[in-house]
């Protein structure tokens, strides 16, 4: 009982000292860890915030360095994809507007020029009529362009409805054949039609007539006299293929992937006699896809073109 407790007191003092040291160290380490983790998490978030702010101001050229495969990296990749898509859309819109203004400027130049000549008093009546016909043709061209653009704009806004009805495909195509055959005969071309059996498809007849008219108009426009255009219908499992083939000029391989794009034309000179507006096939594609079908083109330059539409039967 009367023994000296100095050594125990010293040990207690030492232990206390150790506890305090360990305590301070662990608090310090926790603070460092928290600070480090929050920086690791917040830095990418801050970068993403800055990027989205730039995006909202219209700067779509911003790029984000994304590392890892966690949720934050996924979010970063999603924002990056959004920026790329927006940049692509901006570029496309710019090009589209440039093409539209070019498309409208050309006929307007003709109209203005010929109207100026036609109003002169010192020209022959016959000559005046010729100029007026050109003005009329150019106005028609512009009317078609504006109508097609309006239709495509409606398709983009999804304010375009298709009313599908059960249709006998062969009967539908036969009616179309009878309607268009005279135009082919007038150009000394023949239109063939092969459709066997009882094939039923669900289509919006008015819209689908527009599809076929566009394809046959191309076949007629881009073929020479004496050639043949055919409409073939084939069944494959539960699918129906409608093939429009011609023996016309064909489409070069490098142009083939682009012909369904808006305002795309192989003939870049946009000649008045041959060229259309380049919107026909874009409208065709939209309508076919709205029916749940697909369309593609196959062509050999100088030999002819095949446009193949695939629809589901029934
Ligand atoms: N059957 C075809 N044979 C050869 N070239 C074709 C054929 N169909 C389309 N093309 C090419 O594809 C381009 C795009 O066709 P699309 O029908 O969209 O436009 P377009 O015929 O020029 O104008 P639009 O149909 O609007 O009056 C055409 O300009 C033409 O160069
Ligand atoms: Mg066309």
**Whole-number Å distance between alpha carbons of 120 and 42:** 75
Given a contact cutoff of 8 angstroms between Cβ atoms, the answer to whether 229 and 286 are in contact is no
Q: What pLDDT does residue 275 have?
A: 66
Closest residue CA from atom 1 of ligand 1 = 219
**Among 257, 255, 262, CA closest to 156:** 262
Strand partners, 313: 201
Closest residue CA from atom 25 of ligand 1 = 280
Question: 117-140 burial, b if ≥16 CB within 10 A, otherwise e?
Answer: ebeeeeeeeeebeebeebbeebee
**Pairing label, strands 190-194, 228-236:** parallel
pTM: predicted TM-score of the whole model, two decimal places: 0.77
User: What distance in angstroms lies between residue 281's CA and the mean position of ligand 1's atoms?
Assistant: 7
Question: Count of residues for the chain?
Answer: 314
* DSSP-assigned letter for residue 307: E
- In short, whether 248's Cβ falls inside 6 Å of ligand 1 is yes
What count of other Cβ atoms lies within 10 Å of the Cβ of residue 175? Answer: 12
Report CA 206 to chain centroid distance, whole Å. Answer: 23
From first to last of its 314 residues, the chain has per-residue pLDDT tens of 777 888 889 999 999 999 999 999 999 999 999 999 888 888 888 988 998 999 899 888 888 777 778 888 899 889 989 999 999 999 988 988 988 898 889 889 999 999 999 999 888 999 999 999 999 999 998 999 999 999 888 888 877 788 999 999 999 999 999 999 999 999 999 999 999 888 999 999 999 999 999 999 999 999 999 999 999 999 988 899 999 999 999 999 999 999 999 989 888 765 555 667 899 999 999 999 999 999 999 999 999 999 999 999 87
Given a contact cutoff of 8 angstroms between Cβ atoms, the answer to whether 43 and 68 are in contact is no
Given a contact cutoff of 8 angstroms between Cβ atoms, the answer to whether 167 and 202 are in contact is yes
**Pairing label, strands 190-194, 239-246:** unpaired
**Whole-number Å distance between alpha carbons of 54 and 134:** 50
What does the block give as tokens for 141?
């061209």
Q: Which atom of ligand 1 is nearest to the CA of 275?
A: 22
The burial of 20, by beta-carbon neighbours within 10 Å (0-12 exposed, 13-18 middle, 19 or more buried), is given as exposed
Q: What is 189-236 written as a DSSP string?
A: -EEEEE--S--EEEE-HHHHHHHHHHHHHHHHHTS-TT-EEEEEEEEE
Ligand nearest to the CA of 284: 1
């Amino acid at each position: 009982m009367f023994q000296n407790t100095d050594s125990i007191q010293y040990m207690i003092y030492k232990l206390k000292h150790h506890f305090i040291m360990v305590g301070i160290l662990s608090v310090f380490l926790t603070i460092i860890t928290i600070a480090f983790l929050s920086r690791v998490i917040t830095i990418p978030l801050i970068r993403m915030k800055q990027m989205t702010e730039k995006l909202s101001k219209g700067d779509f050229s911003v790029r984000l360095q994304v590392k890892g495969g966690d949720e934050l990296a996924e979010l970063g990749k999603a924002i990056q994809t959004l920026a790329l898509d927006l940049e692509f859309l901006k570029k496309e819109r710019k090009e589209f507007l440039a093409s539209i203004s070019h498309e409208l400027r050309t006929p307007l130049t003709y109209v203005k020029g010929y109207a100026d000549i036609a109003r002169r008093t010192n020209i022959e009546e016959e000559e005046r009529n010729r100029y007026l016909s050109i003005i009329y043709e150019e106005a028609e061209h512009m009317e078609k362009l504006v109508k097609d653009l309006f239709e495509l704009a409606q398709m983009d806004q999804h304010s375009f409805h298709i009313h599908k009805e059960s249709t006998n495909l062969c009967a539908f195509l036969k009616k179309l054949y009878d309607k268009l055959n005279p135009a082919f005969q007038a150009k000394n071309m023949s239109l063939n039609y092969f459709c066997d059996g009882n094939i039923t498809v669900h289509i919006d007849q008015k819209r689908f007539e527009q599809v076929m008219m566009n394809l046959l108009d191309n076949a007629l426009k881009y073929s020479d006299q004496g050639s043949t255009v055919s409409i073939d219908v084939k069944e494959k499992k539960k699918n129906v293929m409608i093939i429009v083939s011609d023996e016309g000029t064909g489409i070069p391989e490098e142009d083939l992937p682009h012909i369904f794009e808006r305002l795309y034309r192989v003939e870049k000179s946009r000649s008045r006699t041959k060229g259309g507006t380049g919107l026909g096939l874009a409208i065709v594609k939209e309508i076919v896809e709205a029916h749940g079908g697909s369309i593609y083109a196959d062509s050999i330059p100088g030999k002819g073109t095949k446009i193949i539409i695939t629809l589901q039967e029934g």
